[in-house]
A and B are shown apart, each in its own frame.
Chain A
Amino acid sequence: MSAQPTSEPGVGVVFPSGMLGSGFPAESVKRGIAMGAAAIAVDGGSTDSGPYYLGAGAAKTAAAAVERDLRILLAAACENRIPLIVGSCGTAGTDAGVDWVAEIAVRIAAEDRLSFRMARIYSELSVATVISAIDAGRVRGLPPCGDLSPELARSCAHIVALMGHDPIVAALEAGAGVVLAGRATDTSMVAAVALMRGMPAGPAWHAAKTVECGGQCTTNPAAGGVFVRIDSEGFTVTPLAADAACTPSSVAAHMLYENADPLRLLEPTGTLDTSAATYTALDERVVRVEGSRFEPSSRPTAKLEGARLAGYETISVVGIRDPHVLANLDTWLTYFRSVLEDRIHATLELGPQHYDVALQCYGANAVLGPLEDSAGPPREIGLLFKVRAPSQQTATAIAKIANPLLLHLPLPGMDHLPSFAFATSPAEVERGPSYEFALNHVLELEHGTDLFRVDLSEVTNA
């Protein structure tokens, strides 16, 4: 029978880690279930790792790592008859990402003789859907971006909408034991479980935000996930790892994490306001939060994410140790660019408007660029040469034209040709398609389930 409910009021959720595939101790999930979990929730994605995953529709995580985590979670969910909810499947939450996680889940189920009703919630939008929403005046830009043009929408390789709790609640109410969601807000999985069981929105969304990165809200973020119990007055958060603690500071500080505004968090159905929240230590490891408020919006919205193909990249890396060149590095880099532009024009008949070159000097200012204020020449640098062009062939041709300059270009006035230190042969590495995030907009909905398609199937292994 179910491991819940215990005598404690409220709704408990195990959140085992910050991302499916990042690993967690199997015992920690057992510990959370013993605390009386009504569901297991985990996030499968983020935009944090850049536009490639949305653009290419590929996952950041290794299939073997997702399989390892999913095997433990599916077993725990089936054994205890509680739902497992995975958000933002396949990193970017594209339809391909949902299907990729579903294939892994079905394979595990066959191997481990598990049966469950599986819901796939797709959140990818066609360009036609987005354009008709633009035409209907239902799309607005978020700062710092402006209006969305049909051309910009058409330029995207993939567009996803971020679902809130509504589509997940719909899947759970349809009896799904395993919910594999496309792009979803980090908070939507935990909020769905709490809201469908009648918990108030303030504690539900604040609890969900608190646990969305697993152990990040504890004193030992690397140790594992958390258990959260949401009730009618607030929520209580407990680390799953024995060597971690939640403190009022660690929990309150998490509202700052990866948010522009530390007190207000925009969600599809309204805004979480934590300005009146209180954080109290119940003991040395457990924190109680009350006073969280939620302001419903007049109509739900879905944030859009889109990535467009921006060209193809090729890179080379060369080491420079020559003290004279390093003492005059800016001069050398300016000279390099001008000689390179001349050679590209002479050989490929391309002007600088047809390609992009970036020169990043690791050891000097590669990370901070113009914000770097450390003085003095570096001891050595690794120069990352990046070129982006409309085709891979052109990008690599430019990198090959740059190669003799990266090897031998002297400073102006030097009486010999230096030879710099390549790390690899060949020097050029083709990086393939290069994407960039293009959308930062919201689409107004009539209902929070609009746009999102729930597909139910029975996974049966007697």
Chain B
Amino acid sequence: MPDRSLTLGELAAQVRSKNAGPFWITLDVFFKNEDDYQFVTKSGCLSNQVIARLYQVDPAAVLAFELPGILAMKISFPRSVTAGSFQDRDLHAGQQYVPLASLRLPARTNASS
């Protein structure tokens, strides 16, 4: 099914989230192979604007890192509420990866995997 559109969570080996200290949240995406990594990083589908829309944060505050050596991407941004404060919904931010994992990727017409 070369043109089937997957979610990031379906394509990646793992998508995870966690606090990076009480004031930041960080998202990690680990890919299964070079093709998948190249496809996602080159497609621009994880731009700071997309992350800002998914997480309702300022795109200027989003830090994104591509790590070709371990076929991973990392995205960090300030928490909208501090960890463990009254309005916080997820103390460790361990479930906040779901909006990212649910992101539907663009169709991949020349997929090789």
Contact = CB atoms under 8 A, between A and B. Distances in A.
B106 to A, nearest CB: 18
Interface in A221-264: 248-249, 252-253, 256-263
B19 A310 contact: no
B113 to A, nearest CB: 18
The bracket for how many chain A residues form the interface is 35 or more
A369 B20 CA distance: 20
Nearest to B102: A373
B20 A258 contact: yes
A17 interface: no
A3 interface: no
Contacts of A370: 56
A373 B86 contact: no
A258 B98 contact: no
A52 interface: yes
B8 to A, nearest CB: 14
B86 to A, nearest CB: 5
A130 to B, nearest CB: 18
Contacts of A248: 70
Interface in A275-330: 310-311, 313
Interface stretch (A83-91, A98-106, A110-118, A433-441): A433-441
A437 B99 contact: no
A386 B98 CA distance: 25
Interface in B81-98: 82-87, 89-92, 95-96, 98
Given A256-B72, A368-B96, A144 B78 contact: yes
Nearest to B26: A260
B86 A253 contact: no
Contacts of B56: 370-371
Contacts of B26: 256, 258-260
Given A253-B30, A260-B26, A371-B99, A436 B85 contact: yes
A398 B87 CA distance: 18
A437 B82 contact: yes
Interface residues of B, number: 38
Contact of A310 (B30, B76, B86): B86
Contact of B85 (A368, A373, A437): A437
For A49, A260, A434, the residue with the greatest tally of chain B CB atoms inside 10 Å of its CB is A260
Nearest to B75: A260
A252 B69 CA distance: 9
B12 to A, nearest CB: 13
Contacts of A142: 23
Contacts of B87: 356, 358
Contact of A249 (B70, B78, B98): B70
A145 B86 contact: no
Nearest to A263: B65
Interface string A422-461: 0000000000001111001000000000000000000000
A366 interface: yes
Given A143-B78, A368-B89, A368-B98, A258 B19 contact: yes
A360 interface: yes
A47 B72 CA distance: 26
A145 B61 CA distance: 12
B55 interface: yes
Interface string B95-110: 1101100100000000
A358 B88 CA distance: 10
Interface string A41-65: 0000001111110000000000000
A262 B20 CA distance: 11
Interface string B1-41: 00000000000000000111111101010100000000000
Given A144-B78, A258-B18, A260-B76, A368 B86 contact: no
Nearest to B99: A371
A373 B83 contact: no
B63 interface: yes
B19 to A, nearest CB: 6
A367 interface: yes
A262 B86 contact: no
A262 B23 contact: no
For B18, B67, B86, B87, the residue with the greatest tally of chain A CB atoms inside 10 Å of its CB is B86
A388 interface: yes
Nearest to B95: A367
Interface of A: 47-52, 142-145, 248-249, 252-253, 256-263, 310-311, 313, 356, 358, 360, 366-371, 373, 386, 388, 434-437, 440
13 contacts: A48-B83, A51-B22, A51-B85, A52-B84, A258-B18, A260-B76, A261-B65, A310-B86, A313-B86, A366-B89, A371-B54, A437-B23, A440-B22
Given A49-B91, A368-B96, A371-B99, 11 more contacts: A47-B19, A144-B23, A256-B26, A256-B67, A256-B74, A259-B26, A368-B99, A370-B56, A371-B55, A373-B99, A437-B23
